[in-house]
């Protein structure tokens, strides 16, 4: 490896480290203080960098928030997929409910995170253009498995894709409203009805 390559790699790693530190700082402050009460000054100071450094990586506070939502929602979906794959469940409908139930319980047990993600859990599946390659590969498996099962039963590919999108959007919205706002009821009370509606959506 040449000196130029070593220098380039060092600079790249240093930039990645600073970006990661800003991510961690923002996430920590958003959890503790809330999004509105957290400033760019706070994020930079907590990360141990100058305020100007923040703007090398992010446009504003909402840019880093959006990227955090994408990152965290993607992590939840990937974890839910891994747990589903390890569950031993073979039936497609049961696997779908297990996958959804895992996401619900994760958000229920991480209310501060849910406040950050808001209703945007679907970002972890659908904002492919700004995902890292390894993240995209994992979530693509969710899409492929789901679509393959529905198309094999007679649903068109386009309808299968839209059905999964609607299910994830529905789950995100129901989780936020029932867990954070507790309206119109709590998540455990509405879950059986939610599951019933999801099963109806994937019935061909």
Q: What is the pLDDT of residues 137-171, one digit of tens each?
A: 777 777 888 889 899 988 998 999 899 989 999 99
Q: What are phi and psi of 17, to 5 degrees?
A: -65, -45
Confidence band, pLDDT 50/70/90 cuts, at residue 123: confident
Name the residue among 136, 86, 132, 76 with its Cα closest to residue 108. Answer: 76
Q: What is the CATH number of domain 68-201?
A: 1.10.357
What's the pTM? 0.85
Q: Is 12 a residue whose pLDDT tops 60?
A: no
Q: Is 66 a residue whose pLDDT tops 70?
A: yes
Residue 177, pLDDT score: 96
Confidence band, pLDDT 50/70/90 cuts, at residue 133: low
More confident of the two residues 8 and 67: 67
Tell me the C-alpha to C-alpha distance, in Å, between residue 131 and each of 18, 28, 156: 19, 22, 26
Q: Is 130 a residue whose pLDDT tops 90?
A: no
Q: Is 6 a residue whose pLDDT tops 60?
A: no
| Rounded distance between C-alpha atoms, residue 125 and residue 73, angstroms | 8
| Contact by Cβ (8 Å): 175, 107 | yes
Identify the architecture of domain 1-58 in CATH. Orthogonal Bundle (1.10)
Answer whether the bond into residue 184 is a cis peptide, omega within 30°: yes
Within the chain, all domains assigned CATH 1.10.10.60 are found at: 1-58
Within the chain, all domains assigned CATH 1.10.357 are found at: 68-201
């Amino acid at each position: 490896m040449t000196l130029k390559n070593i220098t380039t790699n060092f600079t790249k790693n240093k930039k990645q480290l600073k970006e990661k530190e800003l991510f961690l700082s923002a996430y920590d402050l958003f959890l503790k203080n809330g999004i509105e009460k957290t400033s760019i000054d706070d994020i930079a100071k907590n990360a141990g960098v100058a305020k100007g450094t923040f703007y090398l990586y992010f446009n504003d506070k909402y840019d880093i928030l959006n990227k955090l939502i994408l990152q965290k929602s993607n992590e939840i979906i990937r974890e839910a997929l891994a747990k589903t794959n390890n569950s031993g469940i073979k039936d497609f409908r049961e696997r779908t409910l297990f996958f959804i139930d895992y996401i619900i319980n994760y958000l229920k047990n991480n209310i501060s995170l849910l406040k950050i993600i808001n209703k945007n859990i679907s970002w972890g599946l659908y904002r492919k253009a700004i995902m890292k390659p390894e993240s995209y590969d994992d979530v693509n498996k969710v899409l492929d498995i789901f679509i393959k099962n529905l198309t094999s039963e007679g649903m068109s590919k386009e309808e299968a894709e839209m059905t999964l999108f609607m299910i994830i959007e529905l789950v995100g919205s129901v989780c936020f409203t029932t867990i954070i706002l507790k309206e119109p009821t709590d998540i455990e009370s509405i879950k059986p009805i939610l599951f019933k509606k999801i099963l109806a959506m994937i019935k061909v």
